[in-house]
Chain A
């Protein structure tokens, strides 16, 4: 880049010229500023970040083939892969995934709707706040998993207690975040809405609910995370299908490879759902100044 040193006598050529060597110019210690592009050399970052997990799997593999890690303790990655392929081929794994996903999503649908409905009611109305909020704040301190015995007594050992557990677990994060979102809507915007003559309904629709949306999506993400957790616990209760069922079966026969496959599937399903929420945020929160893209 040319340094624009506009000495009057050199104005005509100043744009392209290197500044004239001034006589008696004392020597200044200088440093070359590196363009950012020059620094991105060597192994690309993505590959570098892969190195850790790959190394871990490599060690795992090595320990398995040398017999240091017996397959009763933990099956090697090769065995895990082949049993994953086998389970997929027989249709056991896809069936189990569908069953588990259905549980998680129906639990979330029920619990989420209840959580959002309660939050909207207590967020918008003083009466709702008085009736609901303290109750919810009290109930949320009970660990959901501790309710399993009660849920079994109420709902038996079929699908119901599993879905009820997930519904309970997901209702709270959504409730808390939607409620906080409604209560933290920018008051200056509410005021602006009043000067525009918005009716109460129009204010809720145009100002308060959109303002609470970012917070609600945070709640959704928490709820989804917790729904997986609740799913794992719920599926330990006498399941006849689903990933938890696959896992407890494998436990009976010391099939550590199948257990690992199930763990990986839980992780992948979690990732997939998180990806969907990110996508949702990208679409619904495109207006947000702080939003830089998922």
Chain B
């Protein structure tokens, strides 16, 4: 990991994540183009943006899955990822999936405690294939949180869930975040989801963080909240949809 400190460009020392001048090229195209980003410890940040804007690429870089980069990136050593697909090892029982990669022998009690947190203790000893989509996603969350990460990266974790399950999963993530107090970067295409969960919503465009809004609203939040509705219209406007709503807001 890069550690250089260069005057103005230096990394914020006590941030959980600090990114300076990050560039990632695919061929000639810079999907991420001199991007700066700080995430404070314990902060819940949502990252939105149009399809193909590079938000998932950014997450993959923070997860140390993509090293073809220029610039400075610092992330916590203890970090975990939950992907859009649960990516459980199909040949391991659920509880073994949860503690996979932890030092020492597989600790079933630790796995069960983590599964209990996401309401899945009764599924500890089954194959992943029998889990429903929502259950598999919760197991994947348990696997991420059992590592007690300082940074949790969530890559559209609710994208493949049905509407009802998604709402429950969002509530769960909110609760887990408050209990574990880790920084979260949630990549999503759902503006409402971002506003319901995050302290700060970032919008990525043309390879940088183009816009940013703070969501100063106590939790739990409701979609009907007029303050959130205003932010929503603003974000959708930046995304290039719902222009009329923005115009009305401004009027």
Contacts of A268-294 to chain B: CB distance below 8 A: 286-289
A195: B residues at CB distance < 8 A: 63-65, 79-81
Query: Can you list, as one digit per residue, whether each of A187-204 has a CB less than 8 Å from chain B (1) or not (0)?
Result: 011011111111000100
B200: A residues at CB distance < 8 A: none
With both beta carbons as reference points, the residue of chain B lying nearest to A289 in the complex is identified as B129
CB <8 Å contact, A206 and B92: yes
A213 within 8 A of B: yes
Q: 29 pairs across A/B with beta carbons < 8 Å?
A: A188-B83, A189-B87, A189-B89, A191-B65, A191-B87, A192-B87, A192-B89, A193-B89, A193-B101, A195-B65, A195-B79, A195-B81, A196-B143, A196-B147, A197-B101, A202-B101, A206-B92, A206-B100, A207-B89, A210-B91, A210-B92, A211-B91, A213-B91, A287-B92, A287-B128, A287-B129, A288-B90, A289-B90, A289-B129
With both beta carbons as reference points, the residue of chain B lying nearest to A195 in the complex is identified as B81
B65: A residues at CB distance < 8 A: 191, 194-195
B143: A residues at CB distance < 8 A: 196
B238 within 8 A of A: no
Contacts of B64-111 to chain A: CB distance below 8 A: 64-65, 79-81, 83, 85, 87, 89-92, 100-101
With both beta carbons as reference points, the residue of chain B lying nearest to A210 in the complex is identified as B91
Given contacts A195-B65, A196-B100, A196-B143, contact A206 B89 (CB under 8 A): yes
CA distance A195 to B87 in the complex (A): 11
B89: A residues at CB distance < 8 A: 189, 192-193, 206-207, 210
CB <8 Å contact, A286 and B127: yes
Contacts of B219-234 to chain A: CB distance below 8 A: none
Task: Determine how close the nearest CB of chain A comes to the CB of B209; give it in whole angstroms.
Answer: 23
CA distance A280 to B101 in the complex (A): 28
Taking A192-B81, A193-B101 as known contacts, 13 extra A-B pairs with beta carbons closer than 8 A to each other, sorted by chain A number, are A191-B87, A195-B64, A195-B80, A195-B81, A196-B147, A197-B101, A197-B147, A206-B92, A206-B100, A213-B91, A287-B90, A287-B92, A287-B128
CA distance A207 to B97 in the complex (A): 11
Given contacts A206-B89, A207-B89, A288-B129, contact A198 B100 (CB under 8 A): yes
Query: Can you list, as one digit per residue, whether each of B122-134 has a CB less than 8 Å from chain A (1) or not (0)?
Result: 0000011100000
What are the 3 A-B residue pairs with the smallest beta carbon separation, nearest first? Answer: A196-B101, A192-B87, A210-B91
Interface size class of A (residues with CB under 8 A): 20 to 34
CA distance A211 to B91 in the complex (A): 8
With both beta carbons as reference points, the residue of chain B lying nearest to A199 in the complex is identified as B101
Interface residues of B (CB under 8 A from A): 63-65, 79-81, 83, 85, 87, 89-92, 100-101, 127-129, 143, 147
Task: Determine how close the nearest CB of chain A comes to the CB of B34; give it in whole angstroms.
Answer: 26
B92: A residues at CB distance < 8 A: 206, 210, 287
CB <8 Å contact, B83 and A192: yes
Most buried by B among A188, A196, A210: A196
With both beta carbons as reference points, the residue of chain A lying nearest to B143 in the complex is identified as A196
Task: Determine how close the nearest CB of chain A comes to the CB of B131; give it in whole angstroms.
Answer: 11
A189: B residues at CB distance < 8 A: 87, 89
CA distance A136 to B245 in the complex (A): 66
CB <8 Å contact, B101 and A287: no
With both beta carbons as reference points, the residue of chain A lying nearest to B90 in the complex is identified as A287
A289: B residues at CB distance < 8 A: 90, 129
With both beta carbons as reference points, the residue of chain B lying nearest to A188 in the complex is identified as B87
CA distance A198 to B81 in the complex (A): 14
Task: Determine how close the nearest CB of chain A comes to the CB of B129; give it in whole angstroms.
Answer: 4
CA distance A70 to B120 in the complex (A): 72
Contacts of A129-156 to chain B: CB distance below 8 A: none
CA distance A194 to B60 in the complex (A): 12
CA distance A194 to B89 in the complex (A): 13
A210: B residues at CB distance < 8 A: 89, 91-92
CA distance A288 to B100 in the complex (A): 19
With both beta carbons as reference points, the residue of chain A lying nearest to B129 in the complex is identified as A289
Contact partner of A188 (CB less than 8 A), chosen from B64, B85, B91, is B85
